[in-house]
Structure 1
Amino acid sequence: MSEDVKQQVIAELKEASLGKFAIQLDESTDVAACAQLLVFVRYVTGQDFKEEFLFCHTLNTTTRGEDIFNEVSLFFEKEGLSWNNVCACTTDGAPAMLGRRSGFRGRVNQVNPETKHLHCMLHRYALASKTLPPDLKLVLDDVVHMVRWLSRGNVVSRVESLKEKLTEFFKCDNKVKSLEFTKKLSDSQWLQKLAYLSDIFLRLNSFNLSLQGRFATVSDFMDKLRSLTMKLELWEGKVKDGNLSMLEHLGEALDKSQNTGKQDVMQLVQSHLASLRMELQSYFPELSELESKLIRNPFIVNMHLLPDNMQEEFLELVNDSVAKDAFETLSLTKF
């Protein structure tokens, strides 16, 4: 069945409208410490975009850009696909992927200089959200040593909600590490920082989930990102005024400690929110408001803001009543 599905996807790729398709690559290590290369594909078929899983291969030797390029090339050659039809490649930010000479990007450019290379937006968001000042990073490290969990947001919230039970557990263990953990779990300032991490990671994880899913567009992403950065600025201002309504766990922790050390933790929270907002803005600078409007609704864009070589074609579009009707009835990707 899987082979039949693969052949259907390849047949659609060969017949895709415009004759072009885009690929997204992710190289990850599985539980057996084997490097796996996953490749997804997006193309136009019929009246809409289509996204499909293309293949997953084990990288038996090294994971250099050259190895990844060769693995994809062998698949293309076997299935009758061509690099000339690849209009875009999305990867993570690893040097093996983005290297302009020996990296995957460099090798692709050698066979098709027209291919556009993109750094995965979800990966960029993950990198930006890892920004933590040293004081908070130490607390997160402590949490990871206490309890293992897949998600940073989940592990922090679990420890925060189970701190009394964990204290009892560590008290029953005479190991040096357990004694250290017991001491931290009774330290009001450590618990305040833990509570803040629980609050902010839950918010960031929720945002991350909202970005995932099929047929998400760059416009959707930038709208949500703009909303998050404005929220961070709002929260920063509220914390400065002493308002912790959006940081429920931190507020409870401060109440329990009778606001001991409140000023220090408030300054730490302000600093982190500001640095997180700036990191997000630095990782996503390229889509302007004009580009975003042009994608979402070209009929409301000011013609004079467009480049000269687009203006005449743009006037034809905005005065096309069939196009206007299509915009109102079709999904954005179909339009």
Structure 2
Amino acid sequence: MFDTKTATALQSIPVSNNTISRRIEDIASDIVMQVIEQIKLTKMFALQLDESTDVSGEAQVIVFVRYQDCSDIRENILFCQNLQSRTTGEELFKVIDKFFAEGGILWDWCLSVCSDGAAALTGKNNGLMAWIRKKNPKVKWLHCIIHRQALASKRMNAHLHETLNEAVKVINFIKARPLNSRMFKLLCQEMGSEHQHLLLHTEVRWLSRGKILNRLFELRQEVHMFLLEQKSAFSSLFENQDWVCRLAYLADIFDKLNDLNLSMQGFRTDELSLNSKILRTIVKLITSTQSVIIREHLTKLRDELVSYFPSIMNQDRTQDWIQNPFVEDVASSSGLSDKLTENLIELASDRALELKFQNVTVSQFWLEVKGEYKELSEIAMSALLPFGSTYLCEVSFSAMSLIKTKHRNRLSVQNDLIIAVSDIEPRFDNILAKKQPQVSH
């Protein structure tokens, strides 16, 4: 098609089909290698992990690691890999254990694992934690705090569960249909409502159901009028005072759980708490039957939360010294040995360290005093390292949905995701030193 001169010019252009992917792989490998090198230096880390299915139906497991460097605690993605077969605890463990073996990471260095409450992760016999504890019995498991809304749905009274499902159907009836959504917006504008939209319900686990139900309760009059105009059977729900009462309670309890306050915010099981604005508006509607239902759910919810978050009821003050070692008499309740208690008292009496403590984070402070108070620093860091949630995994799955779309569903997303979510600067000098500037095509 071309002459010899043009053909020669075209041959000089790099046309490799994997040049970019090879460079992405090199950068991702260098980022992971930096994390592994730091873990080997400190020999102490915590994990958070989660598993999800991407747009092509492949099961992807993402693992984040929390470790300490010379100045502070760092968080970074450790790896993302797809599972070839089942997503059982054994298969998850094999993937993680293989990565640890190749990277020279020991399970003895792992302090804790944070995940949701899925059986594949928490099962006593075949769950991931069971396999991990065979390697290191001292590993602690922490339930992700951003999944506590799901706990409020467990062991729910049949009437409350039915109310929750009916509320979701009402929201979807309006939001899932564009015409209904537009007509409802116009109705809210005519009535001068504070809000003009309902929040669309979704099964994303960390999304707050409290905001969804709260908005529905605030717009209950507008929704009722709209359903009457549409001659929908759902309109009868808002004419039932018991149903409205249960809706208000669900909106309130889910919203309280969203405030990261797991002490039940003053809720007691021996008497009905009416301290919230929502419940005060319907106090006259609460019948003895509804009161019994609410008390029953609060009792079960408290037991459920305590089983997953023991610190709710456990008023253990032995670790208060970690948060602030300069509080008066904090050493007396530390539960440390006599020698370490003396070291803590000595540290607390150092005015220079107290001034330093006011200008740095807690983790930075304990790392800075590690040279002089090594044992206290190690105990403090072991308490500060564990993850409290799987938020980073959830964010990574969102990033994955942007990288691997239906138009790029054959993409191997592992290396791309590492670069997208990591904040570690690649060592380009090392990468270029190991590679030729331009390899043969």
1:155-203 CA-partner distances (Å, limit 9, x unpaired)? 31233234344445544667xxx42x22112212211221222222222
Q: Which runs of 5+ in 1 are unaligned?
A: 209-223
User: Is 2:246 the counterpart of 1:193?
Assistant: yes
Amino acid at match of 2:343: E
Q: What amino acid sits opposite 2:302 in the alignment?
A: R
The aligned residue for residue 306 of structure 1 is 335
Matched, 1:232 2:259: no
Aligned equivalents of 2:230, 2:57: Cα separation in 1: 32
SS at match of 1:90: strand
Contact kept? 2:59, 2:87, Cα under 8 Å: yes
Counterpart Cα distance in 2 of 1:99 and 1:275: 22
State whether structure 2 residue 43 is matched by structure 1 residue 14: no
Instruction: Using structure 2 for the length normalisation, give the TM-score.
Output: 0.58
The letter for the 1-side match of 2:318 is: E
Q: 1:184 to 1:33 in 2, by over 3 A?
A: farther
Residue 431 (structure 2) aligns with: none
Residue 32 of structure 1 and its aligned partner are, at CA, apart by 6.0
Matched position secondary structure for 1:319: helix
C-alpha spacing 1:281/1:114, structure 2 compared with 1 (3 Å): closer
Q: How does 1:214-233 map to 2 (within 5 A)?
A: 224-225=261-262, 228-233=263-268
TM-score, with structure 1 as normaliser: 0.74
Residue of structure 2 in register with 1:221 after alignment: none
Is residue 331 of structure 1 aligned with residue 384 of structure 2?
A: no
Per mean C-alpha deviation after superposition, the further-off stretch among 124-133 and 138-147 is 124-133
Q: Distance in 2 between matches of 1:113 and 1:281?
A: 25
The 5 A counterparts of 1:253-292 are: 253=282, 259-260=284-285, 262-285=287-310, 288-292=315-319
- Please state whether the residue corresponding to 2:310 is helix, strand or coil: coil
- Aligned in 2, Cα 1:189/1:106: closer, same or farther, shift over 3 Å? closer
Q: Distance between the aligned counterparts of 1:48 and 1:297, measured in 2?
A: 17
- In the TM superposition, residue 107 of structure 1 has moved relative to its aligned partner by 2.7
Q: How does 1:18-33 map to 2 (within 5 A)?
A: 18-30=42-54
Select the residue among 138, 147, 153 that pairs with 2:171: 147
1:1-335 to structure 2, matched below 5 A, reads: 4=27, 7-16=30-39, 17-30=41-54, 34-79=58-103, 81-110=105-134, 112-113=135-136, 116-122=139-145, 125-131=148-154, 132-148=156-172, 149-150=201-202, 151-171=208-228, 178-179=232-233, 181-205=234-258, 207-208=259-260, 224-225=261-262, 228-233=263-268, 239=272, 244=274, 246-253=275-282, 259-260=284-285, 262-285=287-310, 288-299=315-326, 300-303=329-332, 306=335, 310-320=337-347, 321=350, 323-334=353-364, 335=366
Question: 2 CA distance for matches of 1:101 and 1:69?
Answer: 13
Instruction: Name which of structure 1's ranges 11-20 and 298-307 shifts more when overlaid on structure 2.
Output: 298-307
Higher relative contact order (CA 8 A, sep 6+): 2
Unaligned stretches of 5+ residues in structure 2: 1-22, 173-200, 203-207, 367-441
- After superposition, give the CA deviation of every residue in 1:233-285 in whole Å (9 maximum; x if it has no partner): 4x975x46xxx4x333343345xxxx355444345444444443343334333
For residues 100 and 281 of structure 1, the distance between their equivalents in structure 2, rounded to whole angstroms, comes to 19
Alpha carbons of structure 1 residues 10 and 115: separation in structure 2 relative to 1, 3 Å: farther
Letter aligned with residue 155 of structure 1:
I
The Cα offsets for residues 53-90 of structure 1, whole Å up to 9 and x where unpaired, read as 22333323211111111222343355554445434323
The answer (yes or no) to whether the contact 2:60–2:80 under 8 Å persists in 1 is: yes
Taking every aligned residue pair, what percent have the same amino acid on both sides? 27
Measure the CA separation in 1 of the matches of 2:345 and 2:118: 42
Contact 1:40 1:53 in 2 (8 A): yes
Q: Deviations over 1:3-26 (max 9, x none)?
A: 536633431331344222221111
Runs of 4+ in 1 over 6 A off after TM superposition: none
CA distance in 2, matches of 1:274, 1:98: 24
Change (3 A) 1:49 1:153: same
Contact 1:133 1:272 in 2 (8 A): yes
Q: Indicate the SS of the match to 2:239.
A: coil
2:124–2:130 Cα contact (<8 Å) kept: yes
| Secondary structure in 1 matching 2:92 | helix
The AA in structure 1 aligned to 2:242 is Q
Q: How many pairs are equivalent?
A: 300
With 193-202 and 320-329 compared, the bigger mean Cα shift is at 320-329
- Whether the 8 Å contact between 2:151 and 2:304 is mirrored in structure 1 is yes
Which of these two proteins has the greater Rg computed from alpha carbons? 2
Distance of 1:297 and 1:11 partners within structure 2: 32
Distance in 1 between the 2:256 and 2:121 partners?
30
Tell me which protein shows more helix as a share of its residues: 1
Question: CA RMSD of the aligned region, Å?
Answer: 3.4
CA contact (8 A) 1:22 1:41 kept: yes
Measure the CA separation in 2 of the matches of 1:109 and 1:263: 48
SS at match of 2:318: helix
Q: Is the 8 A contact 2:252 2:276 kept in 1?
A: yes
